[in-house]
Amino acid sequence: MSTEELDLEDLHVDDELALAEDVPQLVETSTKVPMTIVTGYLGSGKSTLLDYILKEQHGRRIAVIMNEFGDTSDIESKAISVQSDDALVEEWLELNNGCLCCSVRDTGLTAILNLMEKKGRFDQIVLETTGVADPAPIIQAFWNEPALNLDVSLDAVVSVVDAAGIEKQIQDPRPDGSYNEAQRQVATADVILLNKADLVTPDDLDRVEALLRTINSTALIHRTTRSAIDLALLLDLNIYAAPSAPFRPETLAPFSQPDTAPSASSCDGCASGTPHEHPHPHPHPSSSTSASSPHANDISSLTIPLPASVPSVTGPHSALYALVSALLWEGQLPRGSPPAPGQADAFDLLRTKGFVRTDDGHEWVLQGVRDIFDFARVPAGAGATEADAREVEPKLVLIGRGLTDKEGVRRRFVEALEEGVRREREALGAVEEGESEEEEDEDAEMEG
């Protein structure tokens, strides 16, 4: 009997569900719980934000995994750690507003996995990192830990910064020239709360925001006092474009946005099923992970325009994939001639974002943290409207070191990609021509 002949009023619930399962549809967002990572130095206002999430009647069921209790000492006094035979187990507390919380003393990944045993009692997860933590390893875990990725999707990384103190924290050099914690947190953030805005002058606030945009031109920046903000601006942002997530083009800055804001450096010399695929994320030893630059603060962002479309974003013949790999794994870009002494590339990238279209009409979002990156296909119709989708210009955003010569880096990347795409299309054309000849030969044999 065809489905058209069925009387839906006579169907039982199970029959209705079975019928619905036969209809192609996007995966429900409820299949994975979105998680937001919150970073910030001690004193930035991070604890105040978490205190609001845990105490206010905001109507959301949020599980908060806390690494530092800070001002929420009344909650801390009630959190009881239970020592089991194999690990320290943190007890989850159910609060009056429907939220859950626990404290952890590690990266929190174990707590996330344990939390999923309570799935159904919460709708979202907020994971706090310690004030000096680098969020990159936790983000990378979503690519490297299959068990974690089954139930949880990374939603966004939020960094809370102190408007009065972030400049000094960013410009604090490390003896070995490596990134300091503030630089890592700001560069990796998708959303930045420029907090304690009431404690600085408007001019100072503008200068600090310009500094933050120099480091991370794609982050959404909100000025706050006492970390007061509508949670809709922090949660359910779908920045990482999960399989069932609506793609939000506004999370990538337009190419026209200046990337030559005042330098973050304190050195005057530097102040110059669902249609979705996840190619295997590729970590690779990078020669540039330990920067040898004498300036610890020469970190900036660069936006590079991409072609209207490219043949592919995966596989050994993808020109775009090869260039992104060279940048993240080797810290290098192709050159037309050997570099002059002292002019060799030294790209050391903390964050990579991008949006690209392929010749087959599909759209892809690139997300990269340190040397791990991933191209995720955007589900059809995931943009707010077709007009919005057309307005998104293909682009690549790089955040890190080695980007001082912005025009030079941009030009070299564009030229290398154009040449690589030309060769890729020629190779694809040769393959298609060969396949066509084989088909013609087969047809001739059959006719003979």
What are 64-112's pLDDT values in tens digits? Answer: 888 654 444 444 434 333 333 334 345 556 556 556 666 555 556 777 7
Residue 421 pLDDT more than 70? yes
> 365 has which bridge partners?
355, 376
* pLDDT for residue 424 is more than 70: yes
Flag whether pLDDT at 6 surpasses 70.
no
Instruction: Out of 153-167, 351-365, 420-434, pick the least confident.
Output: 420-434
- Please state the rounded mean pLDDT for residues 183-200: 95
**Half-sphere exposure (Cβ direction) of 159: Cα atoms closer than 13 Å:** 27
Residue 381 has pLDDT above 90, yes or no: no
Quick one: pLDDT band at residue 123, thresholds 50, 70, 90?
confident
* Mean pLDDT of the chain, nearest integer: 73
The CATH-assigned architecture of domain 258-430 is 2-Layer Sandwich (3.30)
Q: What is the pLDDT of residue 103?
A: 55
Q: Does residue 193 surpass a pLDDT of 90? A: yes
Q: What is the pLDDT of residue 286?
A: 39
Q: What pLDDT shows up at residue 92? A: 56
pLDDT at 82: 33
CB atoms within 10 A of CB 406: 16
pLDDT at 429: 79
pLDDT at 392: 77
Better-scored residue on pLDDT, 4 or 447: 447
Q: What is the pLDDT of residue 428?
A: 84
Q: Which residue ranges make up each domain of the chain?
A: 29-240, 258-430
Confidence of residue 144 (pLDDT cuts 50, 70, 90): confident
pLDDT of residue 396: 95
**For 316-356, how does the pLDDT look when each residue is reduced to its tens digit (9 = 90+)?**
889 999 999 999 998 888 776 565 566 667 799 999 999 99
The pTM of this model reads: 0.71
258-430: same fold as 29-240? no
* In the predicted structure, residue 388 carries a pLDDT above the cut 70: no
pLDDT at 156: 93
pLDDT at 131: 75
pLDDT in tens, 221-274: 999 999 999 999 999 898 885 433 434 444 454 444 445 433 333 333 333 333
pLDDT tens digits for range 45-65: 998 998 888 888 888 888 888
What's the CATH number of domain 29-240, 2.60.40.10, 2.30.30.170, 3.40.50.300, 3.30.70.270?
3.40.50.300
Q: What percentage of the chain exceeds 70 in pLDDT?
A: 62
